[in-house]
């Protein structure tokens, strides 16, 4: 398999990753966690796990997701709390029909919810 390296600021190191991965979700998609009661908007995607080893080891071994899958950075909400979450693809489900997400940072990156997802703001795209 053809592989490449990228630098992960979260991990503070270079990460070896496949050149092609199959991300199920895209930037701007609304998702929810498969096990925990929160949902969010994807704002970045890592092709494989790219957070710190300490973060990874803090997950109980019986619930620890595989490293070799996409991981998503989310502007997340749960009840009255807003935060940034880092979640493996195996733990996410699409939730575009669940309505808009209430996160104070959404307007910095995205235009208004279009009924299914959040379009990236003009000028932030490549």
Helices (H), 14-126: 53-57, 106-109
Q: pTM for this structure?
A: 0.82
Alpha carbon of residue 35 to chain centroid = 15
Which residue in the block uniquely carries the two structure tokens 């733990």?
Answer: 91
> Per residue of the chain (126 residues), what is the pLDDT tens digit?
566 555 556 655 565 655 567 899 999 999 999 999 999 999 999 999 999 999 999 999 999 999 999 999 999 999 889 999 999 999 999 998 899 999 999 999 999 999 999 999 987 765
Count of residues in the chain: 126
User: What structural domains does the chain harbor?
Assistant: 3-109 (2.30.30.390)
């Amino acid at each position: 398999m053809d592989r490449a390296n990228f630098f992960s600021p979260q991990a503070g190191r270079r990460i070896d990753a496949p050149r092609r991965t199959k991300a199920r979700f895209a930037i701007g998609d609304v998702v929810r966690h498969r096990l925990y009661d929160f949902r969010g908007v994807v704002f970045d995607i890592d092709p494989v796990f790219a957070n710190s080893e300490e973060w990874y080891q803090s997950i109980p071994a019986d619930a620890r997701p595989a490293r070799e899958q996409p991981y998503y950075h989310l502007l997340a909400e749960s009840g009255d709390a807003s935060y940034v979450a880092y979640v493996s693809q195996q733990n996410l489900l699409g939730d575009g029909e669940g309505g808009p997400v209430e996160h104070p940072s959404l307007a910095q990156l995205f235009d208004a919810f279009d009924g299914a997802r959040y379009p990236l703001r003009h000028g932030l795209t490549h």
